Amino acid sequence: MNKVITIGREFGSGGRELGKRLAEHLNIAYYDKEIIEEISRRTQLAEGYVRQIVEQKPGIYFPITVGRTLHTSNSDYMVKQQTSVYAEQANVLREMAEKSDCVIVGRCADYILKDHNPLRIFVYADMESKIKRCREKAEVEEHLSDKEMEKMIRKVDKNRSHYYTYYTGQKWGRHANYDLCINTSALPVKGFAEALADLIKGME
């Protein structure tokens, strides 16, 4: 069975950077945005719409874009669409895990791939550090004040939590659901990724 590392992360915690650097040090595949692209290709739904579904809490409905046609449908159809995207996401993740050793960021991968016995990592940080990291990485609009940015970060994390709980029945970020929880508040992600890679190699 291939080595699979899943990374759940709070917005602005540096989880995505950690995952990418970890994959580089371990010389294995890294999957993040590629998952959205593949789901879009398979479902013929616009990437933007798929991204909205997987980044918003279930029950929030959007007009559907199939090809170049815009549709507004009833909520029952929207729910089916959301469920269909999640099902396709699960298929994509399983195929990626079966293809090779890999690091997968987000997408409920720790739960979906539980039969692959993944190393489940959750990355978090205090709010001050997340705001600082967001500004450094230009992940949000520069004109936002610290207060506005904090509100936005809390909203993103709340949506991620709802999405995770809706599909897994578990609590997002709960330490018992992960093998390793990392607080990056005062942690240089670049250096830690290399150290973590060495630790993982030593576990083999």
CA 145, 153, 186, 102 torsion-angle sign:
negative
Report whether pLDDT(72) > 60.
Answer: no
**How far, CA to CA in Å, does 202 sit from each of 35, 125, 147?**
29, 26, 43
Q: What is the pLDDT of residue 37?
A: 79
- Assigned domain for 58 exists: yes
pTM for the model stands at 0.82
Report whether pLDDT(71) > 60.
Answer: no
3-state secondary structure 120-160: EEEEECCHHHHHHHHHHHCCCCCCCCHHHHHHHHHHHHHHH
- Give residue 186's pLDDT band: very low, low, confident or very high (50, 70, 90): confident
Q: What is the pLDDT of residue 36?
A: 77
- Assigned domain for 202 exists: no
- Give residue 49's pLDDT band: very low, low, confident or very high (50, 70, 90): low
13-17, 134-138, 146-150: least confident range: 134-138
- Assigned domain for 175 exists: yes
Q: What is the pLDDT of residue 39?
A: 76
- Give residue 117's pLDDT band: very low, low, confident or very high (50, 70, 90): very high
- Assigned domain for 160 exists: yes
- Assigned domain for 32 exists: yes
- Assigned domain for 199 exists: no
Total number of domains in the chain? 1
- Assigned domain for 96 exists: yes
Range of the domain at 54: 4-194
Determine the residue type at 94.
R
- Assigned domain for 153 exists: yes
Mean pLDDT, residues 75-97 taken together: 78
Q: Which of 167, 157, 168, 161 is nearest to 79 (CA)?
A: 167
CATH of the domain at 182: 3.40.50.300
Q: What is the pLDDT of residue 68?
A: 37
Q: What is the pLDDT of residue 60?
A: 45
